[in-house]
Structure 1
Amino acid sequence: MATADRSSDGSYSLYGMLKRITYPTKGYTEITYEPNRVKYSSMTPVPRFMRDQNVLSGYTLLTQDALSDCNQQTKTGTFSVAQNLVGVRISWELQGYSNPGNNVGSSFDLTNPTAGLILVSDSYAGHKTGSTRIDLPAGTYTYTLRVGCQTPQLGPALPTSIPVDTSQTAAPVLPPPLASFSVGKPVSDDITLAIGGNRVQKVVDYDQSKGYNERVITYNQATLLNKPDYITTRETPSTTGQLSACFSLGHTNVVNERTIYNWDGFHVSYRQVTESFGQGGINGQKTYTFDDVYYLGVSFDQAPYPPAQNIPWRTANLLTENSYRKNPDSSFELVAKSGTSYTSGRLSATANGKKIERILACPTNSGVNEQSPNTYFNSITVPVFSDQFGVEIKTEEQWFGTNVLSQSTSYSYNTDWLVNRVATTNSKNQPEEVLTYYANDYENSASPHIGSLKTINAIGVPVKTIRTVNGQAVEGVLTRTDALGNPIELYRLDVAAPVTLTHDRNTFMPSGFNLFQNRQYSSKGNITQITPRNGPTRTYIWGYNHTYPIAEVVNATQSQVEGIGGVGSLESVATVMADASVQNIGTALRSGLTTSLVTSTVMQSGVGIKQLTAPSGLNTNYVYDGVNRLSTISNNKNEIVKEYTYNYRDPNASVGTSPDGNQSPSSTGTISDQLATVNQAYTYTVLSSLFTDPENQGLTYTVSGLPAGLSYSNYVISGTPSALGQSSVTVTATDPGGLSSSITFFLTVGTCFITDPYIVTGSFSSAISISAVNRIETDAVQQVLVNPSASLTLKAGQSVKLKAGFVIKPGAAFRAYTGPCN
């Protein structure tokens, strides 16, 4: 409908959005949302479905006119636009009647004769309103208003299309004919539109011990993905001959019985996001910038043509992250920043994957069975895409006063797109590299396991890793694997000084590497034995159908364990399920391997350890409740050493209600942010009525987060702040049951936030300390007389010596300040 309201309503899209999480610890997290918004510099890129929306900034009237005179019937005028305007709203209203010489009713036309453009041309016999949002370049515009009357003269008769209420004696009154329009320009120079959906605007975390912590998120550089631009070619289906179900599909994919465009729908991405911590960013800010959205786009010479799509792994990757500290003067100072760049390169099709689609195949006969669409579809495959994309460079900088600590790390990839080089600079400004080699970096002749890795496609398993400093190797690990890719032999580079190593594709074992660990595995890939070069062998026994480890034996090999009576093959033991059998295995191991340390466990499937037996033979028992929560831990004598209880809030109780029905206090107001002057006395009284308790219990007030020099006692915050800065101060009221409520405000300590105390002459009631007076100034309109030897005698008999050259004129009032700010 032309008059349909297509403006987005964010309230509806909030349905089902996560709003609040309340934790058993009585803390909570609250999430606030705001509508998604996109800013445009012109109407050209605005999608059609959004063009009828009003801009969020509102409009101011540029021009308007109206015509309702049937004797005149036509009115023409012009208006000028001095400079280019974007997002102008043009609205019009038509009320017209057709007559023998005019079948169109009333009309409105708006043109730009110079550019030869028709901006609006609308007519209607009846009542109609319309509007559009367009850009108006600078120039002169011509408008024409016409009113359609039933007869050429004024006072039209009743149209036959309008029903007459015969129950009324008075003749019906028809609306007068009308053609009117108005032009409004946006208040701001850009076009900001709500596009539907919501984004997180604020997250507030509350913890009883730490108080409130809020994060406010703002968004910039929005991009709306508003149409399937990444369909490279589209063709409208057309019927072929008499076959209504047979279409000429062209370059369009078909799914089931319909031709569709495969795309992700309307969504928005933001390339810059700011996160402020605490009110006004008191605890700092972070800004993030993100990469734009990437699309799949490759030409195909043969149908079916796959629909292109946005690439999630290339979309909205983090580019920069900057951290800021808020200074006492409210400015933000950069303290750390990091940046990430990514590899570039064209996407290409690959045969590694196929996407099954169906296309309509037209039958050769004229008969069509529309009830069996599969008759006309053939299963075919189209290529999907692989991509070589990853982090290329990461940079980090941190500021410590005037010193900057920076680091840059670069990443390189091999032809299989696996990281094979990570280069950085260490704290001594020396270049460091970590080089990684995989199966495809060797010839099969280098070692039998190299070919095995390639056969099972385990090409991502690292075979050799070398760390170099200044181009020379200082550390290295070499791994030999079994037929399943499990590491069975680990070799370490043992050198007294850095050496130069050159990779040889035909050599698996270079000089300098020595075996430092052997490993063995079960048929299921569970590790069963680790034998280090220096140290005791460890054997692991599995049970519960190869699912859980049931024993660790230190200082015994797998063959020694299997030789113990009551144990046998570890493959057979791994199938044991009964708890009693598992216990017997642990007992047999401790009895048969007296020089080994055996730790055994009995497991509760899907829950955790039920019993743990130490090498000494002493048991620790774990008991769980009906919903698999740990309930008690008992020792070898079945004495409970730990007990766990779980209390949850009654779901029908209000937030802040304990299981016994006690409710937390509630605040009756807030505390506005406070200002204090450094090295000056400060006092603030907290109202005792700031919190109330539902049960009228006595409340205990505490204050946390005060700046240095201030303390709290008996509702009064007092002291002398000694350092500049801003503090988040929390006032907490706690009832006898331990439930509490808090209020947080900000206290800023600056240089001169107060007016220094002073004393006016003539009002002294006691002696004034000479040392307490900091400065004396006069209120007299006339200038102060100069008399270097002048002095001031106070009422109580004390004298204050004025600065050389200054004297108070007789009869002039003055102030004696006791602080540094005036």
Structure 2
Amino acid sequence: MKIKANYRILILMFLIAFPRTLVKAQGLDYTRVSISSPNSASLGKFADIPVNKHTGVPVINIPLYTIESGALHLPISLSYHAGGIKVTESASWVGTGWALNAGGMITRTVRGIPDEGVNSHKGQYGHYTNYGYSNYLTLTGDGGRTYDRFFETGERDGEPDLFTFNFNGYSGKFFFNDDRTAVIVENNDDLKIEANFRLANNGGILGMQQNIQGFTVTTKEGTKYYFGKHSTELPEAGYVYPIEVTRRYTFNNGLSSDVVFSSWYLTKIESFDRVDKIDLLYVSEKYSVYNIGLFPIFNVDQIQLQKGHELVRDYFDGVRLANITFNNGELIFKPGNVARLDLSGNSNAGGYGFTESVNTEAKALDEIEIRTHSAAIFKRIKFYTSYFEDQFGQLGAGLDRYTGSTIVSDKKRLKLDSLVECGSANERFSPYKFVYESSFLSRRLSLGQDHWGFYNAETTNTTLIPTITKNIYTEHYRGAKRDAKWPHMKGGTIKEIVYPTKGSVVFDFEPNKVYLNTVKHSLEYAHGFHVGMDGSYSKVWDNIQFTGNAKYQVIYRNDASEGIGGSQIASYNLKNKATGVTVSSVSVGAGETVTSTVTIPPGTYTLNMFRDSRNASTGAYLSFSKYVSADVQDPIVGGLRVKTITKKSGTGGADIIETYMYETNGRSTGYLYERPRYIQSLRNDVVKIYGFRSGEGVDNTPNLHPNGCLAVEGPNLSVPHMVAPYSVAPMSNYQGNHVGYDEVTVSYNNNAQGKSVYRYYNTNPWERETTKFAYTDVSFLCDPLAPNFPAAPIPFQFQRGQLKDEDHFDSEGKLRKAVTYLYSYDSTKVFTPALKVERGVLTEYTLRGYFKKRIETITTVNGSGPNERVVAIDTFFFESPYHRQMTKKSIDNSEGRRITNYKYAFDFRMPQADAISDGWTTYVNACQTCEIQHQQRTTTCGNDYNCIFRSFHQMRECKAAARQLYITRRRTNFTEQNSLYKSVFAGNKQNADNLLKPIWELHDCFTNVPIETVESKKGKTISAVFNRYAFFPSSSVNHVYPTGVMLLELSQPSSQFINSTNNNLNITLDTRYNEWLTLKFNNGRIVQSREKSASPVVYLWGYGGQYPVAKIENATYTEVLTALGGGSTPAHHSAATTILNNLSLSTVSEAMVNTYVQTIRANLQKSRVTTYTYKPLVGMTSMIDPRGITEYYQYDGFQRLKDVLDFDKNVLRNYQYHYRP
């Protein structure tokens, strides 16, 4: 058997740990590296750390402009994240802490090696490329056996990468299942995420063919968002794919050969019918950023040599946003003329390296120019920036050995000072001004960091590994001071925003505090002695007093002497005078120091010290320092929370002060999610069960690793440990934030205007660690409770951070309104298997997506009287297995219970297609069979542990084979382009009736709209609505639009209602449905509506389809076409269509609109015609009512409504703005 390859030699691996680390580091060690650029990281921060009261981070948003293009909307804004600036955090192109929301991005955290596999240094097989590790756990070339070492060396990928998205109000994380379908970690938005992989015509981009080139995300409305590359067409000359590549340079390996895409930016938004679109264009910019690279140390004795950190330089082939174009206009993003000083250049004259080079390409955003379709300037938004600068901070210890002290770019960080909006004639509004904390913001290459990466002003740190202790008192390694420090952590944080109205908002922050009962141990000097310096061989001290039964740190140092004979050995003996018991004695050689921890009972002691070969200038030194313990409650931890928000009117009005309190009963309500574990014994669950076995022959030796530690265990045997300057075990920050508060009280003007109390769901109390905020102590024996190594990601915690209760009180302290929230969650049926291998041992785990199934809100409103109390219970259900939308709403109040059921397009199922097996049950049964067979083989093996070990791997191979069959079936039946499901679906859709066929089309377009809504009370139906859809012409292709609304109109509640049902081809409805509204669409716009028993109304559209230019009452769309075309023949209607197309041009003029509409007025004299003209991006400029009377609208240079004029252009209304914004 060939299983022994990576198990038998594991102990040997610890002897060559450092070389193995270097071997893996030939590529980029993605598990401990952020490969996001500063711009993408600024957006990802909002997905990682929610902005809400639970985290103590206030919402700070500056709206700039909203793009409207038909059915599409894209708000442009600035967001500030006030959780604190971390030491290594780079500024985006709009300033430190700020993010420009102007499109969006998808970025990734690599797990294992990149999902594509072959784009990394040694990668051969990737999770996405090769459909999961089960497909290459065993290969023909492996002899049909599992060779886990390939996963450790980076040749095979065992884990799906984690992707983060943030665009147009959507944010979250996802990964790919091994059938290439995307799984959103936690989300109730129906998003379909597809990777664009190995599309043709790569445009000469390095690594394009090996990477995931882009993504297409479809929302429940059918709107598509495209990221990166999404087309097989060759790009136009000069086109830049909005994709970023990160490559790392290190001292040992030079520039990484990996070509891994790190971020994909939004490049296009398209409506479901392809009529409306928003395009985003980018330009390239190349630059680099110096960082502190972190790595683990597996040989604890080498901490002093390795330190666990090194200087690295990340080279970015990046992009920046240049233009956004839409139906009636364009936004131009103009960079400044001077390149940023807080970034470094992309290369040096002599090639890549650590020597600082000048950045010439990456620039700060200087201006956003908003233009109409005719290139006329609508308005401009000007950005004014400067820099935070650390003029005194020194380069972190050990980082200057590569370059000396020549690096200066990390000392600066871009700062947004103000922004000003300018009108079309260059009129200037008053600016937004931003004031920041004046306290020190350190350079990014500082080692003065707390446990969570915030600045703590510890300038003497030479490493980021904190002091490591053994059994609390024995100092194994004296390391960095990583405690959080106030006020140092708030450097560079926003303090005040002054608005154009002259009003302002002032923020006062304080450090995070968490509920914790811990003990801090400090050393207090007690005694000091020496021998030899005065020429004596020995000394005796006869009456030394020690009090308390305390622990002491004893340090004995023997300095070496040159030019004298003798052994120079030094020793001491400390003996209790009353009992004669020696409590401490040590003998050390020349030049040696011994540190020990000794418990010394109270009493009087005699100390004897001896030093051979006395010398007048050297000797032996002995010191005793007492460990003093102090209880610490609720210490500060890294990061900020808001304390007060003061809103000033700027016009002399009273301030509004919001005060935030995070305590109850004098204790913090904060819980610390991130508790870094800097050292742990290496322990593995598989080793605990099976030990280390060769897999060959017969082995009856009992398991020498009963607790799973990676060395032979025993009472006096030390086990291997892993030490690192970061947490060696995953922390509970999968959902981003490292602190969450159970209860937050917000008072308004010191309760004069009442207060509100918000409570949140958090980690279960019995799962909480309340005694430590970091793990730095070990016993060096095998700890059976040590986390499994290598560790799997922390499971998602469903309710963490969700609002639990909110109570609102008036100024007298009376509860006026209380709301309680109850949630239930579910997970995806299918899990994704993953594998991690490090140091020759493995961990297998699974991943799922999670979503809300039910939300219940209980609202109590108290009136002023004793019996004035109203209670309402609203329950929202999300129960469909086919989507995440609300399927039922239950309202309970004083009038009884009212239930509304919703049926969406995706709830209409095609029985023939759904009958196709997905293979899940077969797969689950096959895995159970693999486990049963393993149990049976284990029984047969008896005490032959090699046999049991082989059986374990046979079970893994069996499950991998079952997974391969399952994924193959999924691909064949569902996910491939020509799958059986798609074939069956297409056939039935083609033959379906006129009511069902459009619904099948909605399936294909991933448009999940409500179809039937049924409302009932006391078990009887009181109303129902059925929305009909049909095909209408749009962008040269027919698309599905609403064509009618059917109502169930009942005179009294009914118990006979029949919900809609369907088969493959037909829908059956309740026969009492009646048509209430009919609709017609053309090219994505509604052109006719008609309510029951009412006259039809026609709408004509212009200005790129953005605005209605005519409303025609008492005419049909066909009659309007006849009137416009001069007749009813197809040729006449074709001519009318040409006219309508002219009206829809972005360049349509007011005269053209009035000319065409006048034709309609003349030919449809029984109709009522209203005409509208517009100034695109601004508003309506005129309206002609059915009487032919015109009203005009004029705007100022800031595009605000100024005057309303009558038909003679006399002023009817004038608007005055008494401040200059």
Structure 1-normalised TM-score? 0.55
Question: What residue is the counterpart of 1:495 in the other structure?
Answer: 1050
* Alignment partner of 2:903 out of 416, 429, 437: 437
How many Å separate the matches in 1 of 2:591 and 2:1050? 96
The SS at the match of 1:463 is strand
Residue 971 of structure 2 corresponds to none
Secondary structure at the aligned position of 1:292 is classed as coil
After TM superposition, the structure 1 = structure 2 runs for residues 178-197 of structure 1, keeping only pairs within 5 Å, are 178-186=623-631, 190-197=632-639
> 2-side partners of 1:126 and 1:630: how far apart?
86
Aligned letter for 1:214?
A: I
Q: 1:41 aligns with which of 514, 517, 526?
A: 517
Q: Is the 8 A contact 1:96 1:124 kept in 2?
A: no
- Report the equivalent of 2:1026: 478
More helix per residue: 2
Q: Does 1:211 align with 2:640?
A: no
Shift of 1:293: 6.2
Partner of 1:402: 866
Sort the Cα spacing of 1:630 and 1:15 in 2 relative to 1 into closer, same or farther, 3 A: farther
SS at match of 2:826: coil
Code of the aligned partner of 1:179: F
Q: State how far apart, in whole Å, the 2-side matches of 1:431 and 1:576 are.
A: 51
State how far apart, in whole Å, the 1-side matches of 2:880 and 2:684 are: 35
Which residue is equivalent to 2:559? 98
Q: CA deviation at 1:629?
A: 3.9
Query: Which residue does the alignment assign to 2:1214?
Result: 642
CA distance 1:563–1:224, shift in 2 (3 Å): same
Say if 2:1116 is the partner of 1:557: yes
SS in 1 for 2:484: coil
Task: Tell me the amino acid that sits aligned with residue 823 of structure 2.
Answer: Y
Measure, in 2, the Cα distance between the counterparts of 1:442 and 1:97.
85
The secondary structure found in structure 1 opposite 2:1077 is: strand
Residue 316 of structure 1: aligned partner: 801
Change (3 A) 1:586 1:504: closer
Q: In structure 2, what is the equivalent of residue 276 of structure 1?
A: 746
CA displacement, residues 374-406 of structure 1 (integer Å, 9 cap, x when unaligned): xxxxxxxx9974323244311111222322211
Match of 1:511 in 2: 1071
Spell out the pairing of 1:127-166 with structure 2 (5 A cutoff). 151=611, 157-159=616-618
Q: How far is 1:215 from its partner?
A: 1.2
Alpha carbons of structure 1 residues 565 and 453: separation in structure 2 relative to 1, 3 Å: closer
Q: Secondary structure at the match of 2:639?
A: strand
Structure 1 residues 36-79: Cα deviation after superposition (integer angstroms, max 9, x where no partner):
11221346xxxxxxx89x9xxxxxx9x87334365357979563
Where do residues 666-681 of structure 1 align in structure 2 (5 Å cutoff)?
A: none
The answer to whether residue 1017 in structure 2 is matched with residue 469 in structure 1 is yes
Mapped to 1, the partners of 2:908 and 2:736 lie a distance apart of 48
- 5 Å-filtered alignment, 1:735-750, equals none
Give the unaligned 5+ runs of structure 1.
44-50, 55-60, 82-89, 109-117, 133-138, 161-173, 236-258, 295-304, 361-381, 650-822
Q: Specify the code of the residue in structure 2 equivalent to 1:559.
A: T
Q: Report the alpha carbon displacement of residue 452 of structure 1 after superposing the two structures with TM.
A: 2.0
CA distance in 2, matches of 1:145, 1:459: 86
Cα deviation, residue 410, structure 1: 2.0
Which residue of the other structure, out of 589, 596, 602, is the alignment partner of 2:1167? Answer: 596
Structure 2 distance, partners of 1:227, 1:449, is 55
Q: 1:337 aligns with which of 818, 821, 841?
A: 818
**Secondary structure in 1 aligned to 2:851?**
coil
Whole-angstrom CA distance in 2 between matches of 1:589 and 1:306: 73
Quickly say closer, same or farther: Cα 1:15–1:503, change in 2 above 3 A. same
- Please tell me whether the aligned partners of residues 98 and 149 of structure 1 are also in contact (alpha carbons under 8 angstroms): no
Is the partner of 1:19 in helix, strand or coil? strand
How much does 1:589 deviate? 3.1
Deviation, 1:613, is 2.9
Pairwise CA distance, 1:347: 5.1
Q: Which deviates further from its counterpart, 261-270 or 284-293?
A: 261-270
Return closer, same or farther for 1:555/1:8 CA change in 2, 3 Å cut-off. Answer: same
Aligned pairs for 1:660-671 within 5 A: none
Task: Rate the CA distance shift 1:66–1:647 in 2: closer, same or farther, 3 A.
Answer: same
Match of 2:849 in 1: 386
* C-alpha contact (below 8 Å) 1:289/1:321 kept by paired residues: yes
C-alpha displacement of 1:359:
12
Which residue number in structure 1 is paired with residue 1093 of structure 2?
A: 534
Instruction: Name the structure 1 match of 2:391.
Output: none
String of CA shifts for 1:82-114, please: whole Å, max 9, x gaps: xxxxxxxx9969684436878799999xxxxxx
Q: Is the 8 A contact 1:147 1:177 kept in 2?
A: no
Hey, what does 1:784 align to over in structure 2?
none
Q: 8 Å contact 1:347–1:387 — kept in the other structure?
A: yes
RMSD: 5.1
- SS of structure 2 residue aligned to 1:490: strand
Residue type at the aligned position of 2:1025:
V
1:150·1:159 contact (CA, 8 Å) conserved in 2?
no
Q: Distance in 2 between matches of 1:478 and 1:223?
A: 48
1:14 is aligned to 2:490: yes
Q: Quote the offset at 1:612 in angstroms.
A: 2.9
The Cα shift of 1:479 comes to: 0.8
Amino acid at match of 2:851: Q
> 1:423 pairs with 874, 890, 893, which one?
890
Deviation, 1:338, is 1.0
Report what 1:788 is aligned to.
Answer: none
- Aligned with 2:508: secondary structure? strand
Answer yes or no: is 1:225 the counterpart of 2:673: yes
Residue 759 of structure 2: aligned partner: 289
Q: Percent identity?
A: 17
CA contact (8 A) 1:434 1:468 kept: yes
The structure-2 alpha-carbon separation of the partners of 1:36 and 1:454, relative to structure 1 and needing over 3 Å to count, comes to same
The runs of 5 or more residues in structure 2 that have no matched partner are 1-461, 463-477, 532-538, 561-565, 575-582, 663-667, 687-727, 765-789, 839-844, 911-991, 1032-1038, 1126-1134
**Contact kept? 1:91, 1:182, Cα under 8 Å:** yes
Alignment of 1:602-613 (within 5 A): 602-613=1173-1184
Taking the aligned partners of 1:454 and 1:556, their CA distance within structure 2 comes to 31
Structure 1 contact 292–316 (Cα < 8 Å) conserved: yes
1:329-372 deviations in Å (ceiling 9; x for gaps): xxx44332111111133455468xx99x9999xxxxxxxxxxxx
Partner Cα separation in structure 2 for residue 643 and residue 543 of structure 1: 28
Deviations 1:298-323 (A, max 9, x none): xxxxxxx9974675985411111112
Contact 2:489 2:638 in 1 (8 A): yes
Equivalent pairs counted in the alignment come to 530
Displacement after TM superposition at 1:201 (Å): 0.8
Give the C-alpha shift of residue 411 in structure 1. Answer: 2.5
Output the CA distance in 2 between the equivalents of 1:600 and 1:124.
102
Q: Are 2:555 and 2:596, in contact at CA under 8 Å, matched by a contact in 1?
A: no
1:31 paired with 2:492, answer no
Other structure's SS at 1:345 match:
strand
CA drift at 1:197: 1.4
C-alpha contact (below 8 Å) 1:96/1:149 kept by paired residues: no
Deviations 1:173-225 (A, max 9, x none): x9x86432341423xxx532222211111111233475122111122432223
In structure 1, the partner of 2:548 is: 79
Question: Higher relative contact order by CA 8 Å / sep ≥ 6: 1 or 2?
Answer: 2
The aligned counterpart of 1:568 is: 1136
Q: In the TM superposition, what is the alpha-carbon distance from 1:576 to its structure 2 partner?
A: 5.9
